[in-house]
A = this chain, B = another copy of it.
Amino acid sequence: MSDIDRRLLLQGAAVTGLVALAPGALRAATRPPRLAPASVQRAVQDQLPATIERIQKWIRQPSVSSTGFGIADCCKLTMELLREAGFQTVKRMPTTRHPGIFATLDAGARRTLGLYFMYDVQPVEEKEWSSPPWKAALVDLPEVGKVIMGRGAVNQKGPQGAFLSALHAIRAAHEKLPVNLVLVAEGEEEQGSTHFHEVVRRSEVVRALRRSMGVVMPSAEQNLNGSVEVTLGAKGILYVEIEASGKAWGRGPTSRDVHSSLAAVVDSPVWRLVEALQTLRSKDGNEPAIDGLAENVRPTSDADKKLFDALAKSVDEAEMKKSLTVDRWVGDLGERAMLERLGSRPSINIDGIFAGYTGEGSKTILPERAVAKVDIRLVPDLTADDVMAKLRKHLDRRGYKDLAIRRIGGYDPTQTRLDARLVQAQIGLYRARKLDVTVRPRAAGSWPGYLFTTAPVGVAAGHYGMGYGDRAHSKDEYYVVEPPAGARFAGLAGAVTSYADYLYTLASG
């Protein structure tokens, strides 16, 4: 459910410069950021083998939140990694399902940074991988160099492991950590963070997070050409299973599949699901046609329109299409319209559908049930709760009261201001490294930033980090350790250093 997968959108994008930087963004950029001392930079280099091993160890401990595979052990391992990195209190936070973690590091500093980690990963189809997903092998890839390949490599164990290495390096250099840290982690990010509010909204956690400048998730933010994007917000998501069954319907077979010859006289829950799904989507794209949803979609502001104009200039559409293996956009949109739609319109998608016999060849049955997995992406001012209620009402009004809707995950849209310290420090650092920076008003993907940006916490939230990786949610996911000569993106040492630099910059001024 993660998505930081803006890389999916922009891989290889040729960013043409600072075109997307609104005037406000330049304010901080004019104040030079403060880089980590040379001693820290040397320690990062010295400890690189240990950094690689730490990330490998983390990946080798599976943690598939959808099935629970390895979750308990990975929670324990993550807590160990935090203690080793210097966190003084590290608490397991039980939730209704997978446990979260709350950890603090008091460095006696003036400012506090919030951190958001996830320790869970997406499921895998092992046989599809060219290197086993839990092996975390070092693999050479022609275009991007030496990588760690494995499930969770870039989403999110690699970048998080690099962040922890920044703390190790500062300690090894006998430097004082420039900011205090408050960390929350969860094991259900890929499941829509269903129970993460049970961690974040506990009073001790709220108190601690409110004291922070904002909450950041370590991430590999660079594109292949080295450019970065600063994303101010993200869509929300509602993920549901919709099930038609003879039992709930009172028509069709109510407790077992029957022979398919009976279709002449027996109703089919599969046809019912197909028919109901069809009412949920606009004909001209993958936009929800759920009653009353469109009226809550906030029109794109003039400020955002300008950011989209700039974005269109910086994105290499051909590269983006190639990376996605897509020849045409919905409705044959042009690049500018596509980018605005991606950032500002809700979408409805069938992530999976299944019923009856799905093996080889034929089996003649009329199935008793059919299920679709559906996700709806939310923009302001849609909320997951509201869309869930509207979906129910939409189906009920059309006579589909029998269709079960099971909420698997959901969160609201999140938004942070361009002038937030968290954001300004990022832009300053990227500029100091001579990277092209683009500002995107809203990512199409989703993450639970709304838990930080809305009450009762109400601080800034975003992602940060140099480095490169790809194929989150797909086979052969990887995170780059050592780019080929001439590469314009940072390797693992550069990523670790970027986190150390960030801590010093946030503390300064």
Q: Which residues of A contact B (CB under 8 A)?
A: 1-3, 5, 8-9, 65-67, 122-123, 190-192, 235, 237, 239, 246, 250-268, 270-271, 274-275, 277-278, 281, 285-287, 324-330, 333, 338, 341-342, 345-368, 370-371, 373, 375, 377, 408-409, 443-446, 472-474
Contact = CB atoms under 8 A, between A and B. Distances in A.
Contacts of A268: 286, 349-350
A253 B474 CA distance: 13
With a 10 A CB-CB cut-off, give which of A266, A268, A329 has the most chain B CB atoms.
A266
A326 B253 contact: yes
Given A8-B262, A274-B353, 7 more contacts: A2-B364, A67-B360, A67-B361, A254-B325, A258-B326, A263-B349, A352-B357
Contacts of A373: 356-358, 362-363
29 contacts: A1-B362, A5-B259, A66-B363, A67-B360, A123-B363, A246-B325, A251-B327, A252-B326, A253-B324, A253-B325, A254-B327, A259-B472, A262-B444, A263-B348, A264-B287, A264-B330, A264-B341, A266-B324, A270-B350, A349-B366, A351-B367, A352-B357, A353-B353, A353-B354, A354-B354, A356-B373, A362-B373, A363-B473, A365-B473
Copies in the complex: 2
A257 B474 contact: yes
Q: Please give me the 9 A-B residue pairs with the lowest Cβ-Cβ distance, nearest first.
A: A66-B361, A263-B349, A352-B356, A264-B347, A261-B444, A263-B347, A352-B357, A261-B445, A270-B350
A267 B349 CA distance: 10
A338 B66 contact: no
Contact of A361 (B3, B263, B286, B408): B408
Chain A interface SS verdict (over half): mixed
A260 B375 contact: yes
A346 B260 CA distance: 12
Given A271-B286, A353-B355, A373-B362, A261 B324 contact: no
A351 B348 CA distance: 26
Nearest to A9: B262
Contacts of A262: 8-9, 324, 342, 444
With a 10 A CB-CB cut-off, give which of A370, A373, A408, A409 has the most chain B CB atoms.
A373
Contacts of A67: 359-361
Contacts of A355: 350, 352-354
Contacts of A370: 350, 353
A148 to B, nearest CB: 21
Nearest to A475: B256
A260 B364 CA distance: 32
Nearest to A349: B263
A272 to B, nearest CB: 10
Contacts of A365: 351-352, 473
A330 B267 contact: yes
A444 B264 contact: yes
B446 A350 contact: no
A258 B65 CA distance: 20
A442 to B, nearest CB: 11
Nearest to A364: B1
Contacts of A190: 362-363
Contacts of A271: 281, 286, 350
Given A66-B361, A364-B1, A375-B362, A329 B266 contact: yes
Contacts of A256: 325, 474
Contacts of A328: 250-251, 267
